[in-house]
Structure 1
Amino acid sequence: MTYLETAQMMARTAGSLIKQRMDSGFATEEKSSSFDVVTEVDKASEELIRKGILLQHPDHRFLGEEESFVSGKPLQEVLLEAQNEPFLWVVDPIDGTSNFVQGIPGFTVSIALACRGELTVGVVYDPVLDEMFWAEKGQGAYLNGKPIQVASADQLGRSVIATGFPSNMQARGAVYNGLGRLLEQCRTIRSLGSAARHLAYVGAGRLHGFWENGLNAWDVAAGALIVQEAGGTVTDTRGEAYSLLTRDITASNGRIHEAFVSCLE
């Protein structure tokens, strides 16, 4: 089984589990604050994905959101150590947990594979809409088997931009600042509740751009590759090159990127 096939299989399997649990009772708890929640379904989804990936590729390393949270080790330290790993799977078992808890569609499963720090596979799966976005390094980006590409708008004033509201209050303040400036420049702004979904939508041309501060590798790794392979641009909010260590992300169709970043600096 190829790495892409493994990612697709596990995203779909986890998505099926999550969808089945939508209407059933599940326990919810707070993580870092009341703004940051996790459910037993997040944990079950991550464990399912971890076991499935390591069954196919037992010598690979796995980094999941929930696993990293309970480890107590700083994420940046983990990522610095992992930059030279030949194979590192970066997984968000439910991106958009608040949507899931509230019964709002729009949560996704995000699975990426990095080889010595370079993204090589990215899969974002929306189980409610049954939409599977994926990309392989140098092979383009796809939605349910059909090629996708970024939108063609070349002016910020004609662009639909998305953002999210992070749990960290300092990062949330940075989003608010960008929001005020961008509302004066772009056509409109949306917030769909999942960074991975926002990035996949940029890749598919549904959105022209997305930014958010204070994110982690599992939120954006898969989506970042999808945007890049669909012809878009991914940097931090200062315009510097994206890496797994990037926490403040800006993604766009490329044509509006310079103007977009200038609003965020």
Structure 2
Amino acid sequence: MEQAAVIHRDLEWDSAELKSPQQLVTKVDFEVEQRIKEHVSEQFSTHAFVGEEEGAVGNSDAVWYIDPIDGTTDFVYGLPHSSISLALVVDGTREVGIVHHLQSDTTYAAVRGEGAYRDGDPISVSTETALDRSLFGIGFSRKDTGDRTLRSAFEYLLDETLGVRRYGSAALQLCYTADGTFEGFLHRNLSAWDVAAGTLIVEEAGGTVTDFDGNGTEQTLLDGDVVATNGNLRGRIDFLNPS
């Protein structure tokens, strides 16, 4: 991970390409994903993988979801908001979540039922109860620009909170919610490798994670939309529920 954290210093646009509008991929994404698979397979030879870059590999009830660089654009431009996200899902249930902040060399981790940690120290969500003293993260891409629910959420949070921040890594913003930096984080249309680790870390830190309809089942948390909060504020943003 330390090597991945410094590679971007020598990375040039020639080694990055667009895999879809506004979505970069680099050789580092593929290298990190492969190294993670190799390392995990040494310990768990029968486990399967679902990686952002190389898709599904293997057939097992124990599946590791890998985002080798969450926030690739930030990584390419040298901005300090990219991470590696790794989650173990067993029989459809998130059991382990690890998010490594590349630029600060900080690791967030959680095991179901055992709490959440940052570099080995316990973390917990904010205890804030007032929106006007709260800071939120938000995520969106070009495909979300016509999403009225997300636009409404953004405008509401701009009006009602201390502020809204948008960084390139959803996994990292979930961890900022888990350690109390943010009171909450919203994002639409994510993939399991984006959120499986971070949502478990939020929950183990005492927070609440649902989709935009208020559902918090394992399936909804692996499939798309995320509303993560410290738990005290979820009821204040029920306007997100589609009519």
Name the TM-score, length of structure 1 as normaliser.
Answer: 0.84
1-structure distance, mates of 2:26, 2:148: 26
User: Could you list the per-position Cα deviations for residues 142-162 of structure 1 after superposition, in whole angstroms to 9, with x for gaps in the alignment?
Assistant: 111111000001122221110
Structure 1 position 49 matched with structure 2 position 36: yes
Give the match for residue 75 of structure 1.
none
Residue number in structure 2 paired with 1:23: 9
Matches within 5 A, 1:88-237: 88-169=63-144, 174-237=149-212
- Cα distance in 2 between the residues matched to 1:59 and 1:257: 39
**Residue of 81, 87, 99 corresponding to 2:62:** 87
Within 2, Cα distance between the matches of 1:184 and 1:130? 34
- Does the aligned pair in 1 maintain the 2:64–2:86 contact within 8 Å? yes
Which structure: greater helix fraction? 1
| Kept in 1: contact 2:5–2:105 (CA 8 A) | no
Query: Do the aligned partners of 1:45 and 1:93 also contact (CA within 8 Å) in 2?
Result: yes
Q: Please, which runs of 5 or more residues in structure 2 have no aligned partner?
A: none
Residues 1:188 and 1:25: Cα distance change in structure 2 (over 3 Å): closer
Aligned-partner Cα distance in 1 for 2:135–2:24: 28
Q: Could you say if the C-alpha distance between residues 36 and 144 of structure 1 is closer, same or farther in structure 2, counting changes exceeding 3 Å?
A: same
Number of the residue aligned with 1:36: 23
Distance in 1 separating the partners of 2:28 and 2:195: 20
Residues 51 and 66 in structure 2, CA contact (< 8 A), matched pair in contact too = yes
Q: Deviations over 1:125-181 (max 9, x none)?
A: 112212111000000001111110000011222211101222534676653332112
RMSD: 1.9
Instruction: Name 2:48's counterpart in structure 1.
Output: 61
Are the aligned partners of 2:185 and 2:227 in contact in 1 as well (CA < 8 Å)? yes
Q: Is the 8 A contact 2:208 2:228 kept in 1?
A: yes
| CA gap 1:124/1:172 in 2 versus in 1, 3 angstroms | farther
Corresponding residue for residue 9 of structure 1: none
Give the 3 Å change call, closer, same or farther, for CA 167–47 of structure 1 in structure 2.
farther
Q: Percent identity?
A: 37
Residue 264 (structure 1) shift = 5.7
| C-alpha separation in 2, matches of 1:101 and 1:158 | 33
Q: 1:192 to 1:264 in 2, by over 3 A?
A: farther
Aligned partners of 1:178 and 1:264 also within 8 Å: no
Letter in 1 for 2:172: R
Query: For the structure 1 residues 174 and 17, does the alpha-carbon distance in structure 2 shift closer, same or farther, using more than 3 Å as the test?
Result: farther
Change (3 A) 1:203 1:216: same
> As a proportion of its length, which structure holds more strand?
2
Q: TM-score, normalised by structure 2?
A: 0.91
Q: Which runs of 5+ in 1 are unaligned?
A: 1-14, 72-77
Q: Give the length in aligned residue pairs.
A: 237
Paired with 1:222 and 1:255, the residues of 2 have a C-alpha distance of 22
Q: Distance in 2 between matches of 1:166 and 1:214?
A: 9
Q: 2:20 and 2:37 mapped to 1: Cα distance?
A: 23
| CA deviation string 1:223-244 (max 9, x = no partner) | 0000000000000011111435
